[in-house]
Amino acid sequence: MTASAIRLTARGIGHAYRDLVVLEGIDLDAAPGEVTVLVGPSGCGKSTLLGILGGLLAPTQGEVRLDGELAPDCLNSVTTVFQDASLLPWRSVAKNVSLVLEDSPLPRAERAARVAEVLAQTGLADFAGAWPRQLSGGMRQRLGIARALAVRPAVLLMDEPLSALDAQSRALLLDDFAALIAGAGVTCVYVTHHLAEAVRLGHTIVVLSRRPGRIRAVLRIDRPIEGRHAEEPALVAMQARLWALIRDDAARAEREIADV
Partner 1 sequence: MSRLDGPVAFRARGFAARDIPAASVATLVGLVLLWQAAASLGWMSTTFLSDPAAIGRGLWQLARSGELWANLSVSLQRLAIGWTVGTMAGLAVGLAIGLFTVARSPGMAVVAALFPIPKIALVPLFIIWFGIGEGSKLVTLGFGVFFPTIINTVAGIDGVPRALIRMGQAFNLPWRSIVLKIVLPGALPSILAGFRITTSTAIILLVAAEMIGAEKGIGAFVLQAGNLYDIDNLLAGLVVLSLLGLAVSWGLGRLERALLAWR
The residue ranges that bind Mg ion (CB under 5 A) are 47
Cα(99)–Cα(96) distance, integer angstroms: 5
- By CB under 6 A, the residues from 64 to 83 that bind ligand ATP are none
Which listed option, Mg ion, partner 1, ligand ATP, none, makes contact with residue 54 (CB within 5 to 8 Å by class)? partner 1
Helix (H) or strand (E) holding 175: helix 167-184
List CB contacts of 108: < 8 A, sequence separation 6 or more: none
What secondary structure does DSSP assign to 59-127, as a single string? -SEEEEEEEEEPPTT-S-SEEEE-TT----TTS-HHHHHHTTTTTSS--HHHHHHHHHHHHHHTT-GGG
The residue ranges that bind partner 1 (CB under 8 A) are 54, 56, 76, 79-80, 82, 84, 86, 88-91, 99-100, 102-103, 131, 133, 147, 151
By CB under 6 A, residue 210 contacts ligand ATP: no
The site that binds ligand ATP (CB under 6 A) totals a number of residues, namely 12
* Closer to Mg ion by Cβ: residue 47 or 60: 47
Which listed option, ligand ATP, Mg ion, partner 1, none, makes contact with residue 60 (CB within 5 to 8 Å by class)? none
Site pattern 8..47 for ligand ATP (x: CB under 6 A): ---------x--x-x-------------------xxxxxx
Cα(136)–Cα(256) distance, integer angstroms: 35
Residue 158: CB minimum distance to ligand ATP, A: 12
Helix (H) or strand (E) holding 259: helix 233-259
Residue 97: CB minimum distance to ligand ATP, A: 26
By CB under 6 A, residue 139 contacts ligand ATP: no
Cα(39)–Cα(53) distance, integer angstroms: 15
> How many helical (H) and strand (E) elements, i.e. helices and strands, does the chain have?
7, 9
Which listed option, partner 1, Mg ion, ligand ATP, none, makes contact with residue 80 (CB within 5 to 8 Å by class)? partner 1
Residues 53 and 189: beta-carbon distance below 8 Å: yes
Residues 8 and 177: beta-carbon distance below 8 Å: no
* Closer to partner 1 by Cβ: residue 129 or 224: 129
Looking at residue 213, the DSSP 8-state letter turns out to be B
* Closer to Mg ion by Cβ: residue 17 or 69: 17
Helix (H) or strand (E) holding 150: helix 137-150
Residue 238: CB minimum distance to Mg ion, A: 22
Residue 255: CB minimum distance to partner 1, A: 30
By CB under 6 A, residue 60 contacts ligand ATP: no
Residue 86: CB minimum distance to partner 1, A: 4
